[in-house]
Amino acid sequence: MKDLTDYSGGFEPELTPDTFSSKTLFGLLKVYAAHMIRIDGLWYGSVMSKYGNEVALKYDINIMKKARALEIEAISSVMNIKGNDVATMMKVIQLSPWVRTLDFQMDVRNNDYATYMVRACPTIFALEKEGRERERGICLDVCLLGMRITADHFNHDIKITPLKIPPRKSKNEICCHWEFAIER
């Protein structure tokens, strides 16, 4: 009973992930990733409503520092990712659960240069809907920090340049665009 496309049949007491097709597992991975983002938004909103955005952002940054480092170690270990260049860093970003919820494009031109464009970001969409104009701050304070932590894990000389960040002028614009480079 391998390669199930769903779990609509009877209960399977010996169920393991490899029982499902890769397409089904990828769908489940996207569900888990989206759930992580919802949990993040819920706790942030709860702290913000009680103590204000400044306190919520402070805690979010502290959590990001710890969680991102753990995520990088776990992904690098499981996927045997080693190196000290931009291409190596992009592999980890590419496999991050957070990124699985985005519509994104990576262009790795060589081991020392890449761009990362996000066309659709649920966090930005939620912040735009909220209407408190927090998008730019979240992008620069939280997203950039996550990328900086990832870059520093592999090489402190990786330069990160925001090419386009919120706010967006229209809903048709991309959410953000970043450049990563090492000058040698």
pLDDT tens track for 102-126: 999 999 999 999 999 999 999 999 9
pLDDT at 98: 87
The model's pLDDT over 32-87, given as tens digits with 9 standing for 90+, comes to: 998 988 998 899 999 999 999 999 999 999 998 999 999 999 999 999 999 999 99
Q: How far is CA 179 from CA 28, 102, 110, 130, in A?
A: 30, 17, 13, 28
Distance between CA atoms of 173 and 167, rounded to whole angstroms? Answer: 10
> According to the model, what pLDDT value does residue 100 have?
87
What is the pTM assigned to this prediction? 0.88
What pLDDT is attached to residue 149? 96
Q: Which amino acid is at 86?
A: V
Q: Please, what's the b/e burial string for 92-104 (b: 16 or more CB within 10 A of its CB; e: otherwise)?
A: bbbbbbbbbbbeb
- What angle do helix axes 144-154 and 53-78 make, rounded to 10 degrees? 30
Give CA–CA dist 119/117, Å, rounded: 6
Tell me the per-residue pLDDT of 150-168, one tens digit each, with 9 for 90 and over.
999 999 999 999 999 999 9
Backbone angles phi, psi at 110, to 5 degrees: -160, 180
Beta partners for residue 113, in sequence order:
110, 181
Query: What mean pLDDT do residues 162-183 have?
Result: 96
Confidence category of residue 1, pLDDT binned at 50, 70, 90 = low
Q: What is the pLDDT of residues 13-32, one digit of tens each?
A: 989 999 999 999 999 998 99
Domain ranges of the chain: 52-181
Contacts of 79 (CB under 8 A, 6+ apart): 91, 95
Q: HEC profile for the chain?
A: CCCECCCCCCCCCCCCHHHECHHHHHHHHHHHHHHHHHHHHHHHHHHHHHHCHHHHHHHHHHHHHHHHHHHHHHHHHHCCCCCCCHHHHHHHHHHCCCHHHCEEEEEEEECCEEEEEEEECHHHHHHHHHCCCCHHHHHHHHHHHHHHHHHHHHCCCCEEEEEECCCCCCCCCCCEEEEEECCC
